[in-house]
Amino acid sequence: MKRYSFLELASADLVIDAIYESDRLIKNVAGEPLARLTGTGNQGGFRYCGPNSVPKLVVLYSTMAEADWPDGLDEEAGLFTYYGDNRKPGYELHDRRSGRGGNQILRRAFQLAHGDEADRALVPPFLIFAKGEGRDAIFKGLAVPGAAHLDPSSDLIAVWKLAEGQRFQNYKATFTVLNLDVVPRGWLTELQSGNRLGSACPSIWREWVRTGKARPLRAERVSRIRTKAQQLGDETRRSIAEVVHAHFSPVPHAFEHFAADIVKYMDPNVTSIDVSRPSRDGGRDAVGRYRIGQHQNCVTVDFAMEAKCYKPSSGLGVEVMSRLISRLRHRQFGILVTTSYLGDQPYKEIVEDAHPIIVCSGGDLAGLIIEKKALASPAAVRDWLAAAYPLPTLQPC
């Protein structure tokens, strides 16, 4: 992985996944790398060069680790999800007092991106950085507002959140990361002077301005077999999975209804899902239908779901996956939903044998709860489960 020292930053290009080091000797913000690298501010998630109303370029910086605000880069699709800077209650969606005017920048940039060529020429380039070790920063790509699969009303949406007993709104923005491996220093210099389409401007940026079509940087995974750590996620996600397991473990069949809802959260094209009776499920906990295409011109595909409420520390073995595979009918796919993880051997088998199985592990399940229900703490999830999924009273034997 390429690295640039603090002394090299002022002349460095921006290289995908390169690390830009802070000054280890300077302990205050003067040693932070992004100001020296991009000419923007040195604090906050939104950092820009020029006035807020017409920024010359914008840096989006994220730790990628805030459970309440799950910014994330989908490397395979070339899409970046970023939440605005109204991240605490008490402020209106576009109130600059809650941040540095980031939501105002988002609103205007997305409006311009949906316009004509003259409008798109006014959109500032968005440079995505993730937190590295200490105060180091990692460059993740050059991005434009919007995505090919989202219409103009869906790529920038206001979502409701609840904190300190107060409801408030913040933006959830979707960007396309352009297929560009190096942003040249020459263009950064031109941008800082207000010249977006100068001689050093990358051709892929010119193409987007001219046509409005963004070519994403898609990276296929070398291995599709996820490790235990990857399936369980960070500490917050593990804790949420443990809360879900603790809630449903007294009545495991009740977890099947919850798992069916999780499948609906995964994709809005799940049109139906029916949980089987415990004694008549034929090895499948639910069956459903998935729609491909538009409402009046579509194809539906059947799928089978299996739900396993296991302790997050207890992995699922080959027998669980073999059971689901053996019961898949022709042209069906399967979904495994669990509070735990799938072991290496069964995961290897479904990938290498190309079985049409989706694994929704404990970390995936927790991530969907965080994203779809805006619940980012184990305590909040525990209260929600008690209210939304009350367990039936167990009868003594």
In tens, the pLDDT along 99-131 reads 789 999 999 999 999 999 999 999 999 999 999
For residue 117, being part of any structural domain is answered with yes
pLDDT in tens, 246-276: 999 999 889 999 999 999 999 999 999 999 8
354 & 260 share domain: yes
19 & 131 share domain: yes
Total number of domains in the chain:
2
> Tell me, what's the pLDDT at 392?
78
Task: Please answer whether residues 216 and 73 qualify as being in contact, where contact means their C-beta atoms are separated by less than 8 angstroms.
Answer: no
End-to-end Cα separation, the chain, in angstroms: 61
Q: How confident is the model at residue 284 (pLDDT cuts 50, 70, 90)?
A: low
Determine the length of the chain. Answer: 397
For residue 397, being part of any structural domain is answered with no
pLDDT in tens, 173-208: 999 999 999 999 999 999 999 999 999 999 999 999
127 & 35 share domain: yes
255 & 332 share domain: yes
**Geometric angle at alpha carbon 15, from 187 and 70, rounded to 5°:** 105
> Tell me, what's the pLDDT at 393?
62
Distances (CA, A) of 257 to 15, 262, 273, 321: 46, 9, 10, 20
Last residue of a domain, one of 211, 241, 260: 211
Neighbours of 206 (CB within 10 A): 13
Structural domain range at position 162: 3-211
Q: Is the pLDDT of residue 278 over 80?
A: no
Task: Give the span between the Cα atoms of 391 and 251, in whole angstroms.
Answer: 7
Write b or e for each residue in 56-90: b if 16 or more Cβ atoms lie within 10 A of its Cβ, otherwise e. Answer: bbbbbbbeeeebbbbbebebebbbbbbbbbbbeee
For residue 10, being part of any structural domain is answered with yes
116 & 232 share domain: no
Task: Please answer whether residues 145 and 113 qualify as being in contact, where contact means their C-beta atoms are separated by less than 8 angstroms.
Answer: yes
234 & 361 share domain: yes
CATH number (domain holding residue 44): 2.30.280.20
Tokens 């280890």 locate to: 24
For residue 93, the 8-state DSSP code is: T
Quick one: average pLDDT of 73-93? 94
Residue-averaged pLDDT of the chain: 92
Tokens 């209650």 locate to: 89
100 & 249 share domain: no
For residue 395, being part of any structural domain is answered with no
252 & 286 share domain: yes
Q: Which phi-psi region, left, alpha or beta, contains residue 149 (left: φ > 0; alpha: ψ -120 to 50)?
A: alpha
Residue of higher predicted confidence among 372 and 16 = 16
Give the DSSP letter string of 179-243: S-SEE-HHHHHHHHTT-TTSTT--HHHHHHHHH----B-----S-----HHHHH-SHHHHHHHHH
119 & 233 share domain: no
CATH number (domain holding residue 238): 3.40.1350.10
